């Protein structure tokens, strides 16, 4: 296993987070590729873990914190770190073999070489993807939290003068359509799971007719994100829909249909 920078030959696999085998992930469209083309010249860094056959089995992507959804400066922000973990699909299960540690160590070394004052990550308190407890084992310290059971913000400073980051809180709510159901999809493009939810909500809104108004907010546009303080999310009227794990198309459509009955 070796760690390499993203090369063109691996881009198609990277765009689907190494899940080339998945038909479901293709529902996410090409949002990640569009996001990548825009962000690659703004400091986006991607590293892959390759197995002995030269196939990607893990990845980490991180950007200057100024382009992330947290507040900070002179830091890099880890959008995600992922090691393929499906036993009977794709390249198989490569988790619990030290690949995640190798990826984050490579990212830290790279960030230091670019004069960053620290590396930042987000995590969840539950034993799923992006576990906060895993980052703590790698020497990261919690500095902020969203709600009682929400995501936590962690960091590893590289210098004594580094300033801790903090979450950017929502700054306004989606507008309501008094004679329609308002479905608002916030999308930056970096995550196929979020992109999948966005596309499902957009399709469901279209199928339910003219009494449903779908609104897109492209938060890859930094000005749009700063206006809202919301990165990737889905609202039906002003109710936030839980997007992790991604709800099915049928579930999203049912939620919208219930609101239609209340008009």
**CATH number for the domain that contains residue 222:** 3.40.30.10
Q: Are residues 193 and 125 in the same domain?
A: no
CB of 148 within 8 A of CB of 125?
no
Domain boundary among 139, 167, 195: 167
Residue 261 has pLDDT above 80, yes or no: yes
Domain boundary among 118, 136, 167: 167
Residue 127 has pLDDT above 80, yes or no: no
Q: Are residues 203 and 148 in the same domain?
A: no
Residue 22 has pLDDT above 90, yes or no: yes
Q: Is residue 37 part of a domain?
A: yes
Regarding pTM above 0.85, the answer is yes
Q: What is the mean pLDDT of the chain?
A: 96
CB of 45 within 8 A of CB of 63?
yes
Q: Are residues 25 and 81 in the same domain?
A: yes
Q: Is residue 176 part of a domain?
A: no
Domain boundary among 167, 198, 219: 167
Q: Is residue 175 part of a domain?
A: no
- % of residues, the chain, pLDDT over 70: 100
Distance CA 157, CA 151 (A): 20
Give the Cβ contact number of residue 194 at 10 Å. 24
The confidence score (pLDDT) of residue 9 equals 97
Q: Are residues 112 and 209 in the same domain?
A: no
- Mean pLDDT of all residues in 168-186: 94
Domain count, the chain: 2
Distance CA 222, CA 219 (A): 6
41-50 as b/e, with b when 16 or more CB fall inside 10 Å? eeebbbbbbe
The confidence score (pLDDT) of residue 263 equals 87
Q: Are residues 186 and 113 in the same domain?
A: no
Boundaries of domain holding 257: 181-261
* 59-109 per-position pLDDT tens digit: 999 999 999 999 999 999 999 999 999 999 999 999 999 999 999 999 999
| pLDDT interval class at 8 (50, 70, 90) | very high
Q: Are residues 144 and 232 in the same domain?
A: no
The confidence score (pLDDT) of residue 147 equals 79
* 209-250 per-position pLDDT tens digit: 999 999 999 999 999 999 999 999 999 999 999 888 899 999
What are the CA-CA distances from residue 212 to residues 171, 223, 252, 258, 262 (Å)?
24, 26, 13, 12, 12
Query: For the domain that residue 13 is a member of, what is the CATH number?
Result: 3.40.630.30
Residue 128 has pLDDT above 90, yes or no: no
Residue 153 has pLDDT above 90, yes or no: yes
| pLDDT interval class at 150 (50, 70, 90) | confident
């Amino acid at each position: 296993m070796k760690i390499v920078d993203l090369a063109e030959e691996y881009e198609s696999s990277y765009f689907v987070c190494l899940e080339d085998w998945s038909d479901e992930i293709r529902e996410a469209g090409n949002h990640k590729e569009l996001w990548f083309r825009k962000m690659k010249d703004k400091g986006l860094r991607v590293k892959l873990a390759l197995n002995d056959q030269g196939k990607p089995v893990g990845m980490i992507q991180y950007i200057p914190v100024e382009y992330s959804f947290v507040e900070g400066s002179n830091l890099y922000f880890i959008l995600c770190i992922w090691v393929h973990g499906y036993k009977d699909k794709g390249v198989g299960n490569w988790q619990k073999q030290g690949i995640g540690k190798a990826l984050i160590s490579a990212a830290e070394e790279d960030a230091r070489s670019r004069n960053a004052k620290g590396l930042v990550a987000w995590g969840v308190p539950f034993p799923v993807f992006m576990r906060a407890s895993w980052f703590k084992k790698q020497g990261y310290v919690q500095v902020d939290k969203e709600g009682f059971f929400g995501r936590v913000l962690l960091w590893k400073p590289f210098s004594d003068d580094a300033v801790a980051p903090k979450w950017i809180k929502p700054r306004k709510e989606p507008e309501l359509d008094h004679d329609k159901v308002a479905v608002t999809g916030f999308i930056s493009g970096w995550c196929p799971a979020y992109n999948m939810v966005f596309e499902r909500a957009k399709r469901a809104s279209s199928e339910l007719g003219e009494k449903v108004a779908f609104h897109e907010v492209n938060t890859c546009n930094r000005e749009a994100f700063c206006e809202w303080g919301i990165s990737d999310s889905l609202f039906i009227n002003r109710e936030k829909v839980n997007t992790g794990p991604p709800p099915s198309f049928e579930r999203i459509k049912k939620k919208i249909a219930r609101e239609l009955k209340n008009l």
